[in-house]
Amino acid sequence: MAHTKAAGRARQGTPRKGPRLGVKIFGGAKVENGQIIIRQRGSTFHPALGTKMGRDFTIFATKGGKVNFRTLNGKKLVEVI
């Protein structure tokens, strides 16, 4: 009689979808109010003019325009012009 459980289906985790993080709208592209620009964990990118950060660090547009990425004092900023 076996004293160890068989490593069958019961021990395998269920397949889960990934979190789908990353840049959704790249620099130079047009955005409308409320569109998600970046989904991230932590503040890798910071909001600038025309953008805000949600509580899960998602950066979204607060007005329509073109997306622009820039660096200021070592911080990566995302803005809508």
Tell me: the pLDDT tens digits for 35-57?
A: 999 999 999 999 999 999 999 99
**Residues of the chain under the 50 pLDDT cut:** none
- Quick one: 37 exposed, middle or buried, by C-beta within 10 A (0-12, 13-18, 19+)? buried
Task: Provide the pLDDT for residue 5.
Answer: 66
Task: Provide the pLDDT for residue 36.
Answer: 98
Q: Does some domain include residue 53?
A: yes
- CATH code, domain with 56: 2.40.50.100
In this prediction the pTM is: 0.81
Q: Does some domain include residue 22?
A: yes
Q: Does some domain include residue 31?
A: yes
Q: Does some domain include residue 68?
A: yes
Task: Provide the pLDDT for residue 74.
Answer: 96
Q: Which domain holds residue 48?
A: 18-80
DSSP string, 11-67: GSPPP------EESS-TT-EE-TT-EEEE-SS-SEEE-TTEEE-TTS-EEESS-EEE
Q: Does some domain include residue 74?
A: yes
Task: Provide the pLDDT for residue 13.
Answer: 76
Neighbours of 16 (CB within 10 A): 6
